[in-house]
Amino acid sequence: MKRLSYITLITLLSLTMACVPARKLEELQVSYDNLQSDFDEMKTMKEFGDTAIFELKAKYASVEAEYANAMQKCEEQKRAFEKTQASYEILNRNYKNLVNSNENTKKDLRYELERLDKQLEQKKGELFAKEAKLEKQEAEAALLKKELSAVAADLKDREIRVNELEAKLAANEKAVNDLKDKLTASLIGYKNSGISVVEKEGKIYVSLDNSLLFASGKTDIDWKGKTALLKVAESLKDLEDFDIMVEGHTDNQAMKSATIQDNWDLSVLRATSVVRYLTTEGKMNPKKIIPSGRSKYDPINTGNTKEDYAENRRIEIILTPKLDQLMSILK
């Protein structure tokens, strides 16, 4: 538009020049040159302006793109901020809840601590009591240990004595068995004549039927009985460590004569007759033999036949191991 104005102006000037004087023409020529110079300057400025506009448009587009990118990032940051803010609000609520919870927890912990302190004091008291009890028990244990040592020593001594006692009992048992065997062997010929040798409760019983020794109601020993008693005396005269008891036994039938008052009398007199014969003819030591009578009060058979009565009428020589050594061990 401006270029068209310039051309029009030049045309007008050309038409005017034909009608104006030379001076005026020069003035016009100067004006024209000035205008031409301004035109050229303005043209240059236009070209520079177009370049600047192009560059500005390019820069504007770049800035606009950067702006759009910045807006996008801003939106993203805004969303991130909103998300962060929401998280912060949640955390803030949680924090407030935690603070409240911590206050309650502190109260609970303070209460629990006080309870534990009381419990600890109680436990300390119990511990002191147990320690005192333990010290007492230790003292008692020391005393018991001392007593135990004494008991152990006593038990050791008792063990020695028990071993001695067992050895002595074994020796006595052997002596009893040996004596029984010796008597059985020496009296084997009288086995079917009313003599028996048995061991009972640690004692040896030599039982002789009255039919072998005495006539009915008599206290004098028959010759068959004397022979048997000599066999017994031969086995017993050197016997040591045994007590010898000669017991007379009768049946339960009443007995009375001019010289015998009753069964007590008869049982004792018969036992005495046997002891007298063993010590005089059998040469046994009278200090070792004790006569006694049991009358009818220790029967073998409680029947009422003649055979039962005959079985109860007997002389028993009871050989008992002496317990003096055993008693000394037990003391």
Higher pLDDT, 166 or 250: 250
Half-sphere exposure of residue 56: CA atoms within 13 angstroms, side-chain side = 6
pTM of the model: 0.51
Average pLDDT value for the chain:
83
Distance CA 212, CA 233 (A): 16
Cβ atoms within 10 Å of 169's Cβ, excluding its own = 15
Pick 22 or 208 by higher pLDDT. Answer: 208
Q: Evaluate whether residue 307 is within a structural domain.
A: yes
Q: What is the DSSP string of 27-57?
A: HHHHHHHHHHHHHHHHHHHHHHHHHHHHHHH
Structural domain containing residue 212: 180-330
Residue 129 belongs to a domain = no
Q: How far apart are CA 200 and CA 41, in angstroms?
A: 169
The answer to whether residue 276 sits within a structural domain is: yes
Number of domains comprising the chain: 1
- CATH number, domain containing residue 205: 3.30.1330.60
**Residue 252 lies inside a defined structural domain of this protein:** yes
Is the confidence at residue 2, as pLDDT, over 60? no
The confidence band for 186, taking pLDDT boundaries of 50, 70 and 90, is confident
In a domain, 76, yes or no: no
Which DSSP string corresponds to 133-196?
A: HHHHHHHHHHHHHHHHHHHHHHHHHHHHHHHHHHHHHHHHHHHHHHHHHHHHHHTGGGTTTTEE
pLDDT at 326: 56
CA 318 – CA 293 distance, rounded (Å): 13
Asked whether residue 223 is assigned to any structural domain, the reply reads yes
Residue 257 corresponds to which tokens in the numbers above? 């004569």
pLDDT (tens digit, 9 = 90+) per residue, 123-178?
888 888 888 888 888 888 888 888 888 888 877 877 787 787 777 777 777 877 88
Model confidence over 266-313: pLDDT tens digits? 999 999 999 999 999 999 999 999 999 999 999 999 999 998 999 999
Q: Is residue 149 part of a domain?
A: no
Give 238's pLDDT tier (boundaries 50, 70, 90): confident
Q: Is there a domain that residue 147 lies in? A: no
